[in-house]
Copies of this chain bind each other. A is one copy, B any other.
């Protein structure tokens, strides 16, 4: 039998707390899950440092990837199968792209990408196309299958219907992570009726659309998304831990560049510091490795690196105050001077962090990231953009919300009491 059509002798199931069971019947999917590149996702947390805010958020990207796969499987096997708009030949491609869409994520992606100027989507592509076990399995399906999978994930694949399953404002990725992150953090947001949403999905030539009768379920999903962003993903305590993590990486790089002599050579970081990371280097990085270095760096001579690592590992985070960049620019400058005076390096200990979310957007051609709008399908087949049908979605559509906070180590400031710079700092920060 052709490998692409090969089924397992008996269906395999994974017990999943969110979708109850994840079902695998295709040999190729099973083999992909067994590759070392995919298993590596077990060592990368889905929500980065969020576990320092919500202790339940310890789940991995492996966990989430299986979930996205399962959602796409239900769509293509239970909803799309047999419909004329759906080409059965795209089935395996959709499943593999769903499973592998996050393959290029590294440890604490958010911070690493920022500091070292990396792009996980790029690594996903390189892993799929490179000399890897994943590539080997995909190539068994067909010569150009790895390329197709990479294209779907890169959103450049010609069949936009397949692309929209994985990447749109309401795709399998988002539907899984909202529910999964809500489940593991324990927050009561993040619930919506996915079963209903799946039932009203319909394939069209270039995108997935939704029967109009399911509009309220889609609205509910949009609201869940909005709440999860502000309640979980942008939680100010999580951002504090991100700030510290980012500063650790900055400091380590700085030290390396300034020929600091590490007690224990940070071999795994060399290519990052030197900006020439290969796929092979990249695949050796995971959160265990990073946490290992943070632990041994607690014993370095450099007081900043040492302090920041202790803070991160022992969750001794920075405090924060609201900050308005437009109005409080001078205050920030003054604080910077005062920190310097007080012997607290403002480069590492006085940080403005901004979060911003666009809950839903209709189509604006030419904008930085063109976001495909959600379309509802009326009984007569006519398509209408969601925000024109839903008052609630219209209300929040296209409205970017931004939040700025200023982070600093309240404990260090407290310890310095008596010092006159510290006194003024305390007043400015209203401590």
Residues of A within 8 A of B (CB): 13-18, 20-21, 34-36, 39-40, 42-43, 51, 54-56, 58-60, 62-63, 66, 183-189, 191-193, 195-196, 199, 216-217, 219-220, 223, 226-227, 230-231, 284, 286-292, 295, 310, 313-316, 391-392, 394-396, 399, 401
Q: Report whether B62 and A59 are in contact in the complex, using a CB–CB cutoff of 8 Å.
A: no
Q: Which residue from B58, B188, B313 sits with its C-beta under 8 Å from A193? A: B188
Inter-chain CA distance A54–B66, complex, in Å, is 12
Would you give 27 A-B contacts (Cβ < 8 Å), ordered by A? A13-B199, A15-B56, A15-B185, A16-B55, A17-B56, A18-B186, A20-B186, A34-B314, A36-B314, A39-B313, A39-B315, A42-B55, A42-B315, A55-B66, A58-B58, A187-B193, A188-B193, A188-B196, A189-B220, A219-B227, A223-B223, A286-B295, A288-B289, A288-B291, A288-B295, A289-B292, A391-B395
Which residue of B has the minimal Cβ distance to A194?
B188
Across-interface contacts of A184 in B (CB, < 8 A): 17, 184
In the complex, are the beta carbons of A34 and B316 less than 8 A apart?
A: yes
By a CB distance below 8 angstroms, the chain B residues around A59 are 56, 58
Of the candidates B42, B196, B230, which one forms a contact with A216 in the assembled complex, judged by CB atoms under 8 Å apart?
B230
Are B191 and A226 in contact, CB atoms less than 8 angstroms apart?
Answer: no
Question: B289 touching A295 by the CB < 8 A rule?
Answer: yes
Q: From known contacts A42-B51, A216-B231, A223-B392, infer whether A186 and B34 are also in contact, taking CB-CB under 8 Å.
A: no
Instruction: List B contacts of A62 (CB < 8 A).
Output: 55
A60 / chain B contacts, CB cutoff of 8 Å: 51, 55, 58
Q: What's the Cα separation between A273 and B289 when bound, in Å?
A: 22
| A34–B52 alpha-carbon span in the complex (Å) | 11
When chains A and B are docked, how far (Å) is the Cα of A58 from the Cα of B21?
17
> Is A291 a contact partner of B43 (Cβ separation < 8 A)?
yes
Which 7 pairs of residues, A with B, have the shortest CB-CB distance? A395-B395, A17-B186, A288-B291, A292-B292, A188-B193, A36-B314, A288-B288
Q: How far is the CA of A81 from the CA of B284 in the complex (A)?
A: 46
For the complex, give the distance between the alpha carbons of A396 and B230 in Å: 19
Tell me the smallest distance from the CB of A8 to a CB of chain B, in Å. Answer: 15
Most buried by B among A40, A59, A292, A401: A292
Q: How far is the CA of A219 from the CA of B314 in the complex (A)?
A: 34
Known: A51-B60, A286-B295. 12 other contacts (CB 8 A): A15-B186, A36-B313, A39-B313, A55-B62, A56-B59, A56-B63, A188-B191, A191-B191, A288-B291, A289-B295, A391-B399, A395-B395
How distant is A105 from chain B, measured CB to nearest CB, in Å?
16
Contact A188 B21 (CB under 8 A): no
A396 to B395, CA, bound (A): 7
Q: How far is the CB of A388 from chain B (nearest CB, A)?
A: 15
| C-alpha gap A286/B288 in the complex (Å) | 10
A43 and chain B: residue at smallest CB distance: B291
* Contact pick for A391, options B42, B188, B219, B396, CB 8 Å: B396
A132 and B191 alpha carbons, distance in the complex (Å): 43
Minimum CB–CB distance for A203 against chain B, Å: 17
A188–B183 contact, CB under 8 A?
Answer: no
Most buried by B among A43, A189, A316, A394: A189
